[in-house]
Amino acid sequence: MSTARDRANAIRALAMDAVQAAKSGHPGAPMGMADMAEVLWREVLKHNPANPNWPDRDRFVLSNGHGSMLIYSLLHLTGYDVSIEDLRSFRQLGSKTPGHPERGYTPGVETTTGPLGQGLANGVGLALAEKLLASTFNRTTADGRSFDIVDHCTYVFAGDGCLMEGVSHEACSLAGTLGLGKLICLYDDNGISIDGPVSGWFTDDTPGRFEAYGWQVIPGVDGHSAEAVQAALASARANPDQPTLICCKTTIGFGSPNKGGTAGSHGSPLGDEEIAKTREALNWPYPPFEIPAELSAEWDCKVRGADAENQWQQLFKEYELAFPELAAEFTRRTSNTLPAGWSASLTALLEEYQNAGKALASRQASGEIISRLSALLPELVGGSADLSGSNNTIWPEAQAVGALHPDGNYIYYGVREFGMTAIANGLALHGAIRPFTGTFLMFMEYARNAVRMSALMGLQNIHVYTHDSIGQGEDGPTHQPVEQLTNLRTTPRLNVWRPCDAVETVGAWQAAIERTEGPTALVFSRQTLAHQARSDLQRSQICQGAYVLFEPETAPVALIMATGSEVEIARVAAVRLSENGVPTRLVSMPSAEVFSAQSLAYQASVLPESIRARVAVEAGHGDYWRKWVGLEGNVVGLNEYGESAPGADVLAHFGFSAEAIERCVKELL
Ligand SMILES: Cc1ncc(C[n+]2csc(CCOP(=O)(O)OP(=O)(O)O)c2C)c(N)n1
Ligand SMILES: [Mg+2]
Phi and psi, residue 479, nearest 5° = -105, 0
Mean pLDDT of 132-146: 96
State the Cα–Cα distance between residues 122 and 525, nearest whole angstrom: 29
Q: Is the CB of 161 under 6 A from ligand 1?
A: yes
Q: What is the pLDDT of residues 24-66, one digit of tens each?
A: 999 999 999 999 999 999 999 999 999 999 999 999 999 999 9
- pLDDT computed for residue 389 by the predictor: 98
Q: What is the DSSP letter of 40?
A: I
State the Cα–Cα distance between residues 615 and 603, nearest whole angstrom: 16
Which one from 417, 504, 593, 618 is the annotated catalytic residue? Answer: 417
- pLDDT computed for residue 1 by the predictor: 83
Q: Does the pLDDT at position 356 exceed 90?
A: yes
CA of 353 to the centre of ligand 2 (A): 55
8 Å CB contact between 374 and 395? yes
Q: Is the CB of 256 under 6 A from ligand 1?
A: no
Mean pLDDT of 395-413: 97
Which run of H or of E encompasses 497?
strand 495-497
CB atoms under 10 Å from CB of 609, counted, come to 8
Q: Does the pLDDT at position 125 exceed 90?
A: yes
- pLDDT computed for residue 109 by the predictor: 98
Mean pLDDT of 70-95: 98
Q: Does the pLDDT at position 238 exceed 90?
A: yes
Could you tell me the sign of the dihedral formed by the alpha carbons of 395, 400, 401, 407, in that order? negative
Mean pLDDT of 476-487: 98
Q: Is the CB of 116 under 6 A from ligand 1?
A: yes
CA of 113 to the centre of ligand 1 (A): 11
Q: Which atom of ligand 1 is nearest to the CA of 118?
A: 1
Rg of the chain's alpha carbons, rounded to an integer?
A: 28
CA of 665 to the centre of ligand 2 (A): 59
Q: Is the CB of 28 under 6 A from ligand 1?
A: yes
CA of 249 to the centre of ligand 1 (A): 17
Q: Which atom of ligand 1 is nearest to the CA of 190?
A: 20
CB atoms under 10 Å from CB of 537, counted, come to 9
Phi-psi region of 191 (alpha: psi -120 to 50; beta: other; left: phi over 0): left
- pLDDT computed for residue 297 by the predictor: 98
Annotated catalytic residue 417: yes
8 Å CB contact between 202 and 159? no
- pLDDT computed for residue 393 by the predictor: 98
**pTM of the shown model:** 0.98
| Maximal CA-CA distance, the chain | 91
8 Å CB contact between 137 and 165? no
Q: With DSSP H G I counted as helix, E B as strand and the rest as coil, what are the percentages for the chain, rounded to 5?
A: 45, 15, 40
Q: Average pLDDT over the chain, rounded to whole?
A: 98
- pLDDT computed for residue 287 by the predictor: 98
Q: How far apart are the first and last CA of the chain?
A: 85
Could you tell me the sign of the dihedral formed by the alpha carbons of 107, 110, 112, 116, in that order? negative
State the Cα–Cα distance between residues 119 and 105, nearest whole angstrom: 17
Q: Is the CB of 119 under 6 A from ligand 1?
A: no
8 Å CB contact between 215 and 172? yes
Which run of H or of E encompasses 593?
helix 592-596
Ligand nearest to the CA of 194: 1
Which run of H or of E encompasses 440?
strand 434-440
Mean pLDDT of 455-474: 98
CA of 513 to the centre of ligand 1 (A): 35
Three-state SS letters, 320-333: HHHCHHHHHHHHHH
Q: Is the CB of 113 under 6 A from ligand 1?
A: no
Q: Which atom of ligand 1 is nearest to the CA of 163?
A: 15
- pLDDT computed for residue 439 by the predictor: 98
DSSP 395-413: -TT--B-BTTBTT-SEEE-
Strands 584-588 and 547-550, how do they pair? antiparallel
Q: Which atom of ligand 1 is nearest to the CA of 188?
A: 20
Q: What is the pLDDT of residues 522-579, one digit of tens each?
A: 999 999 999 999 999 999 999 999 999 999 999 999 999 999 999 999 999 999 999 9
Q: Is the CB of 190 under 6 A from ligand 1?
A: yes
Torsion over CA of 620, 625, 631 and 633, rounded to 10 degrees? -70
Q: Does the pLDDT at position 655 exceed 90?
A: yes
Q: Does the pLDDT at position 332 exceed 90?
A: yes
